[in-house]
């Protein structure tokens, strides 16, 4: 088969072009080498100590946990042991530079871990939380600002449709837009029998977990352009429900269905919709009625890792789904469950 590479009169020009290209590349590399070395040094300085991931089993607590309870919605700052949200460990690399995010339940737990990661990846972040969670929220606002990003705090009860619309409008106004929405806030209440679940409790759980997700997403979509994304916090409970979390599991299954359906609907607009489905994670949800005292004592012990996850261990899942590199990922449920089946 004939080609330029097989023609004698093409060899010399090709070689000259090759040598010229290599020479140019070498010169360019020499010019930027000092800057690259300086940046590499800075990057190394920002890296966590080697072997941290391998030491996770030693760093993170395993059951038995001490008896403890808090009134709903609970505060991370009062938990024993205190959850790790990545405050001292998460290191960003600019993957979300310039993004504008709204995170519900951003004061503590998984939402807080996502917020810290988003800010350190370069995003400005608005957080929603209940007024009772103000002490935790103040800590998060300060962490966002320490990352050099804009922090917007919007307290309020997402069980109210009018507030959900106001929440989105205020986030858009103060951030100057919205291209990343994390529907994370949830309510979980343990009940040994369906006979113990009152209509009021059932309504409270569905309003918080399902209705609010619908209302907030509906209000947010008109503001979102191509390249935006929505991430919903579902749960392993959607696939493998516990007997004491009937209504909560129902809401999480609904969230998965909403994620998959909406992903198909919004794909033509360039808006991606995904979910994260955590297993047992050490958050205020568990100590404010989400588990019985007996279950709390052994919480997470039934996973192959024999412990619950820490919120910090889910942060990268949210960053990954939010990043532009995941541009072909939509309708996906990202499981982070310590080895339990999805």
Both tokens of 160, joined, read 């109210």
Per-residue pLDDT of the chain (342 residues; tens, 9 = 90+): 444 444 334 434 443 443 344 334 433 333 333 333 333 333 333 445 545 555 665 789 999 999 999 999 999 999 999 999 999 999 999 999 999 999 999 999 999 999 999 999 999 999 999 999 999 999 999 999 999 999 999 999 999 999 999 999 999 999 999 999 999 999 999 999 999 999 999 999 999 999 999 999 999 999 999 999 999 999 999 999 999 999 999 999 999 999 999 999 999 999 999 999 999 999 999 999 999 899 999 999 999 999 999 999 999 999 999 999 999 999 999 999 999 866
Contact partners, residue 103, CB within 8 Å, separation at least 6 = 111, 114, 115, 118, 125, 126, 127, 128, 182, 184
Asked if 322 and 96 count as a contact pair (C-beta separation under 8 A), the reply is yes
Record the pTM.
0.84
Residue 58: what pLDDT? 74
Q: What are the catalytic residues?
A: 248
- How much is the pLDDT for 54? 57
Residues 6+ away with beta carbon under 8 Å from 310: 60, 83, 84, 85, 281, 282
Name residue, tokens 């609904």: 254
């Amino acid at each position: 088969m004939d080609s330029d590479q097989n023609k004698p009169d093409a060899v010399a020009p090709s070689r000259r072009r090759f040598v010229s290209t290599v020479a140019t590349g070498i010169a360019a590399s020499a010019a930027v080498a000092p800057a690259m070395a300086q940046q590499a040094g800075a990057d190394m300085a920002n890296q966590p100590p080697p072997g941290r991931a391998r030491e996770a089993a030693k760093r993170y607590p395993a059951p038995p946990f001490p008896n403890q309870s808090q009134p709903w919605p609970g505060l991370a700052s009062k938990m024993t042991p205190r959850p790790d949200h990545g405050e001292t460990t998460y290191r960003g690399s600019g993957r979300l530079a310039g993004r504008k995010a709204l995170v519900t339940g951003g004061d503590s737990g998984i939402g807080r871990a996502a917020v810290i990661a988003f800010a350190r990846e370069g995003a400005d972040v608005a957080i929603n939380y209940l007024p009772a969670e103000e002490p935790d929220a103040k800590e998060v606002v300060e962490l966002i600002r320490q990352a050099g990003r804009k922090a917007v705090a919007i307290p309020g009860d997402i069980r109210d449709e009018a507030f959900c619309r106001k929440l989105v409008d205020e986030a858009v106004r103060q951030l100057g837009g919205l291209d990343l929405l994390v529907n994370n806030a949830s309510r979980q209440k343990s009940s040994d029998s369906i006979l113990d679940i009152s209509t009021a409790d059932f309504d409270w759980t569905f309003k918080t977990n399902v209705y609010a997700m619908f209302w907030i997403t509906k209000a947010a979509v008109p503001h979102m352009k191509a390249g935006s994304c929505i991430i919903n916090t579902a749960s392993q409970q959607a696939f493998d429900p516990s007997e004491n979390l009937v209504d909560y599991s129902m809401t999480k299954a609904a969230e998965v269905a909403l994620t998959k359906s909406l992903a198909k609907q919004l794909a033509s607009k360039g808006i991606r919709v995904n979910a994260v489905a955590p297993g047992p994670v050490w958050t205020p949800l568990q100590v404010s009625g989400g588990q019985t005292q007996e279950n709390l004592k052994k919480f997470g012990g039934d996973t192959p890792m024999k412990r619950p996850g820490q919120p910090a261990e889910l942060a990268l899942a949210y960053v990954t789904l939010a990043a532009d590199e995941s541009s072909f990922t939509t309708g996906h449920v990202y499981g982070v469950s310590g080895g339990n089946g999805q």
